[in-house]
Amino acid sequence: MAFIIALSSLLLTLLAHCTGSSAQSMLTQPPSVSGALGQRVTISCTGSSSNIGSGNYVYWYQQLPGITPKLIIYGSSNRPSGVPDRFSGSRSGSSGTLTITGLHTEDEADYYCSAWDDSLNAHTVFQSYEEVRQKPAFPTVMGFPCSAS
Mean pLDDT of 110-139: 66
Q: Which range scores top for mean pLDDT: 39-48, 73-82, 102-111, 128-137?
A: 73-82
Report yes or no on 24 lying in a domain.
no
Using alpha carbons, list the distances in angstroms from residue 97 to 94, 119, 120, 138, 148. Answer: 10, 22, 22, 23, 31
* pLDDT at position 53: 92
**Cut 0.75: pTM above it:** no
List, for residues 53-94, the tens digit of each pLDDT value.
999 999 999 888 889 999 999 999 999 999 999 999 999 999
- Assign residue 62 the CATH number of its domain: 2.60.40.10
Which one has a higher pLDDT value, 41 or 6?
A: 41
Domain that holds residue 41: 2-18+33-133
**Total count of domains within the chain:** 1
- Phi and psi at residue 36, to the nearest 5°: -90, 160
Q: Is residue 26 part of a domain?
A: no
Residue 21 has a pLDDT of 39
Q: What is the pLDDT of residues 8-65, one digit of tens each?
A: 322 332 222 333 334 445 666 555 666 778 889 888 888 889 999 999 999 999 888 8
- Is residue 49 situated within a structural domain? yes
Q: Identify whether 139 is part of a domain.
A: no
The confidence score (pLDDT) of residue 24 equals: 47
Domain membership flag for residue 141: no
Domain assignment present for residue 120? The answer is yes
DSSP category for residue 74: B
Residues whose CB is less than 8 angstroms from the CB of residue 55 and which lie 6 or more positions away in sequence, other chains included: none
| Domain assignment of residue 8, yes or no | yes
75 falls within a domain: yes
Give the containing element (helix H, strand E) for 25.
helix 22-25
